[in-house]
Amino acid sequence: MEAGTAPRTRCLLDVNTFTENFKNLLSTRKTYLCHEVEILDGDAWVSLDEKKGFVHNKGADQPGQPSHAELYFLDRIRSWNLDRGLHYRLTCFISWTPCHSCAQELATFLRENSHVSLHIFASRIHSLPNYEAGLRTLQAAGAQIAIMTSTEFEHCWETFVDHQGRPFQPWDRLEAVSQNLREKLQAILSPRPQQN
């Protein structure tokens, strides 16, 4: 390979950070959000590798203003100045579903940017106040929301983790916990009967 032609390296999660934050059996206070962007080219989606990456929340114990990972992600998207004449698909792999406030912010972004679609795969479901209404609002704005399965965990491992050639090793009960969470999410997102 000639000098200067090496691919630009991306920052990757270390193995322990990924496992501690995405393992669906554990409960952690941090939220990590891994993201990738594709652009529609004819009938095919083409990955924009330079837009792959991750963000995480900043707590009150860290310098600067505390912020949720989803808000950092929205700031990052806005900084890209995506061409309104093109169509983009954003895919997020997040350790927790968005809270009510972040879901509202994401929904507002989607309503204001019809050239962008959003797919969210979450490892766990938040249980903060009003989280269910927030997820329904986000879905109504066009976001597709699902629970991560071994397929998405392995994709994250291959795409966002500095695994040093080691294959993804699913943990015990990964699929059972994912199935339980999928059923819970489906119940949250299902249409509600109208109250009289």
**Mind telling me the catalytic residues?**
70
Terminal alpha carbon distance of the chain: 70
Query: Two tokens at 12?
Result: 């990757």
Residue 2 neighbours by CB distance under 10 Å: 5
What stretches of 10-161 show up as alpha helix (H) in DSSP? 15-22, 69-80, 100-112, 131-140, 150-160
The per-residue b/e assignment along 5-32, b for 16 or more CB within 10 angstroms, e otherwise, is eeeeeeebbeeebbbebbbbeeeeeebb
| d(C-alpha 162, C-alpha 24), whole Å | 20
With beta carbons less than 8 A apart as the criterion, state whether 134 and 103 touch.
yes
Distance CA 145, CA 138 (A): 8
